[in-house]
Structure 1
Amino acid sequence: MLGSLIAEILVWQVSLSALWLVLISRLEPLEVFAGLGCALLGAVAAVAARRAVSGW
C-alpha cells in the first residue's frame, strides 16, 4: 500500500515538474526549486483527491 502511494506521488511529481520546466522561460535554480516544490504539493493534492473520490 505505501509503495503504491509513493509511486503514484512520484509519477505525478515527475509529470508536473516536466510541465513546469516546459512552461518556464528561464532555467534558474530558484525557478527549478520553486517548480519542484509546487509540483510536489500538486502531486500530493492530486493523489489525495483521487483517493477521496474513489473512497479509499
Structure 2
Amino acid sequence: MARLLTAALEVAGWWVVLAGLWLVLIQTVDTLECAVGAGAALLAAYGGRAARRAAVRR
C-alpha cells in the first residue's frame, strides 16, 4: 500500500510541475488547451517516473 501511495505522489508531483510549465509556455489559456496540457503532462509524468526508476536500478 505504501508503494502505491509513493508512486501516486511521485506522478502527481511530476504532473503539477509539467502542467504548470505547460500553462506558462502557452499564450492563451482556454478549456481545450488546459485539457490537452493536463493529458500531455500526465503522460509525461508517467514517463518521468519510469525514467527515474530505470536510472535508479543501474
TM normalised by structure 1 equals: 0.95
Structure 1 segments of 4 or more deviating over 2 A? Answer: none
In structure 2, runs of 5+ residues without a counterpart are none
TM normalised by structure 2 equals: 0.92
Confirm or deny that 1:33 pairs with 2:35.
Answer: yes
In structure 1, runs of 5+ residues without a counterpart are none
State which of 6, 10, 14 in structure 1 corresponds to 2:8.
Answer: 6
What corresponds to 1:49 in structure 2?
51
**DSSP 3-state at the match of 1:49:** helix
**DSSP 3-state at the match of 1:35:** helix
User: What is the alpha-carbon distance in structure 2 between the residues aligned to residue 48 and residue 6 of structure 1?
Assistant: 13
User: What is the alpha-carbon distance in structure 2 between the residues aligned to residue 7 and residue 22 of structure 1?
Assistant: 23
Q: Residues 18-39 of structure 1, C-alpha deviation per residue, up to 9 Å, x if partnerless?
A: 0000110011111000000000
User: What is the alpha-carbon distance in structure 2 between the residues aligned to residue 22 and residue 49 of structure 1?
Assistant: 24
Aligned length: 56
